[in-house]
Amino acid sequence: MKRIYMDNGATTKVAPEVAKVMKKYFSDSYGNSSSLHKLGRDANKKIEEARKIIADSINAEPNEIIFTSGGTESNNLTLKGIAFANEKGSHIIVTKVEHDCVLNSAKWLEKQGYKITYLNVDTDGFVNEKDLEKSINEKTILVSIIHGNNEVGTIQNLEKLGKICRKRNVLFHTDACQSYTKTEIDVKKQNLDLVTLNSHKIHGPKGVGALFIRKGINITPWQHGGGHEFNLRSGTLNVPGIIGFSEAVKIANKKDIEHMIKLREKIIEGVFDKISDVKLNGSKKERLCNNINFTFFGIEGEGIVGYLDEKGICASTGSACSSNSLEPSHVLQAIGFERKDCNSSLRLTLSRYNTEKEVDYLLKVLPEIIEKLRRFTPYKNV
Amino acid sequence: MGKIKDADAVGEVGNLNCGDVMKIYLKVEKNKIKDVKVETFGCIAAIVTSSLLTEMAKGKTLDEAYKITNKDISEGLELPNIKLHCSVLAASALRKAIDDYRKKFKV
């Protein structure tokens, strides 16, 4: 069976052109980018090219970019590294809809004695600017707000939120793992001090990410060793991965975004047309171009995912990272869902490779699956 | 799967908060399960285990059916650890339905 992949929020297929570029750096140009010889110098040259490509893509300088193993590491380094580098302050602000790697880093810091504020969001998933402003105090050192939400797709207005942080002299970080290359990130315009980026959500390889750290910011490294990445992240660089990452950034384009928006709107329209008792979660307007998140009242999301899988369609209920937990989604709870309805979600996340034909097939099988599950749910009137 | 409208007994386990609910309906004749159906709100493991259970229980005496364990149900399914509770839920839903029958008909 040909698989239809609509779980690009979990990870994406490595683009063939990315894989092709990477290949050479496994067994031909395999030098350590820190080595002085020719193979090392070759690798280093490519790494610096990659650094520039990524810096340019967010209007930053190359020496403001460090490579990491991915979004989780970049977010951990941000929260812990900023907390430990700032002796005067002990207060950090995050939102209730962050990815687990931000939330759990924040919780860990709480155990070390730091104060954390978990900001509420409205029913569309937006942070209220006044709430943010009110929660900043003289001890606040960092505000971390996810850009495009990984579950419900809402895109925050970084420019406005960043302005508040800048005005109050507090560092502003965003986790842009889902939004990178899908919507504009401009560190100058959006007043960003730190930005988490990763490769495997944009058709690059897994295990690579980056962190933008504005020049002059004091951050404590967590990985000690040979002093790689401006002494902020020791460890031999993942040369093929980083080169693949930058190639993925290069191939991202506006046309793909328009394509994904077109398919996204077709799915939303089709589902509302054919299925009753359904809600679209997240903002309708300020939304990731590839994200759709529905609640189908009365039935269980994992049941829908299972039957879609049987029909050849890969989807998820929300974050792939939490599907091994039985806890209902913290994001859906934060946007106001009752606990009983938090297990009824379906997330479809598209990519440049999805086609109109695949969407037609989805719109044919999904209503049948929903009807079938509703036929034998004990909760007809929820 | 589904509902038996004139069921002799019903057993419900789980709740919407935890994400899995099973409601088992029994039709009993001469101490034997003549018909059994289930309504399930849950993941595929919950749907499969509860559906499988109804197939296993049909035709059995109440005593035999009561002895069906979660291991009997999950055998051969290769359920991941985190989904084992689905088979436990299914077995206890059936027992609850049988308890309900015995209470109602004092047998």
Q: Which residues contact A169 (CB under 8 A, 6 or more apart)?
A: none
* Residues of chain A positioned with their CB less than 8 A from the CB of B82: 324, 326
* B1, B3, B43 ranked by CB distance to A306: nearest: B43
Give the minimum alpha-carbon distance from A341 to chain B in angstroms, rounded to a whole number: 8
Q: How far is A40 from chain B (nearest CA, A)?
A: 45
User: Nearest CA of chain B to the CA of A118: how many Å?
Assistant: 23
**pLDDT tens digit string along A95-120?**
999 999 999 999 999 999 999 999 99
Average confidence (pLDDT) over A125-149? 98
Task: Tell me which chain B residues have a C-beta less than 8 angstroms from the C-beta of A339.
Answer: 16-17
Residue pair A238/A208 in contact (Cβ under 8 Å)? The answer is yes
From B80, which residue of chain A is nearest by alpha-carbon distance? A324
**Closest chain B residue to the Cα of A378, Cα to Cα:** B39
Please report residues of A whose CB lies closer than 8 A to that of B18. 326
Q: Which two tokens stand for residue B96?
A: 């609850």
Instruction: Please answer yes or no on whether A340 and B22 come within 8 Å at the CB atom.
Output: no
Query: Can you give the residue range of the structural domain that contains B58?
Result: 9-105
Residue B96 located in a structural domain: yes
- Looking at chain A, the whole-number percentage of residues with pLDDT higher than 90 is 92
Within-domain flag for B57: yes
Q: In chain B, which residues have their Cβ closer than 8 Å to the Cβ of A306? A: 43-44, 47
Average pLDDT, chain B: 92
Tokens of A322: 């939490």
- Asked whether residue B76 is assigned to any structural domain, the reply reads yes
Q: How sure is the predictor about A381, in pLDDT bands with cuts at 50, 70 and 90?
A: low
Residue A345 three-state SS? strand
The chain-wide mean pLDDT, for chain A, equals: 95
Report the residue of A277, A295, A297, A302 to disrupt the B interface, i.e. the one with the largest count of B CBs within 10 Å.
A302
Task: Say if residues A258 and A245 touch (Cβ distance below 8 Å).
Answer: no
> What DSSP designation does A316 have?
B
* Helical pair A356-375 and A254-274, crossing angle rounded to 10 deg: 30
Residue B2 belongs to some domain of the structure: no
A377 to B40: CB separation less than 8 angstroms, yes or no: yes
Measured CA to CA, the distance from residue A96 to residue A118 in angstroms comes to: 5
For each of the domains in chain A, give its residue range(s) and CATH number, in order of start.
Answer: 4-12+254-375 (3.90.1150.10), 16-251 (3.40.640.10)
Residue B21 maps to a domain? yes
Radius of gyration over every alpha carbon of chain B, rounded to an integer in angstroms: 13
Residue of B nearest to A309 (CA): B44
Residues A82 and A105: beta-carbon distance below 8 Å: no
Query: B20: which chain A residues are within 8 Å (Cβ-Cβ)?
Result: 300
pLDDT, residue B85, reads 87
State yes or no: pLDDT of A323 exceeds 60: no
Question: Is position B1 within any domain?
Answer: no
pLDDT of A382 over the 50 cut: no
The closest alpha carbon to B39, from B28, B26, B30, belongs to B26
Please indicate whether, in this complex, the C-beta atoms of A382 and B82 are within 8 angstroms of each other: no
pLDDT, position A122: 98
The CATH number of whichever domain residue B17 belongs to comes to 3.90.1010.10
> What is the C-alpha R_g of chain A?
21
- Does residue B92 belong to any structural domain of this protein? yes
Decide if A302 and B40 are in contact by the 8 Å CB cutoff: no
Q: Tell whether B3 is covered by a domain.
A: no
Per-residue pLDDT tens, chain B, 107 aa: give them.
999 999 999 999 987 766 789 999 999 999 999 999 999 998 889 999 999 999 999 999 999 999 999 999 998 888 888 888 889 999 999 999 999 999 999 88
CB-CB under 8 Å, A302 with B22: no
Give this complex's ipTM: 0.85
Residue A300 has its nearest CB partner, among B3, B43, B82, at B43
**Which residues on B lie below 8 Å from A316 (Cβ)?**
none
A343 and B22: CB-CB below 8 Å? Answer: no
- Longest CA–CA separation in chain B, Å: 39
Domain count of the fold of chain B: 1
B105: distance to nearest CA of chain A, Å? 24
d(CA B83, nearest CA chain A) in Å: 9
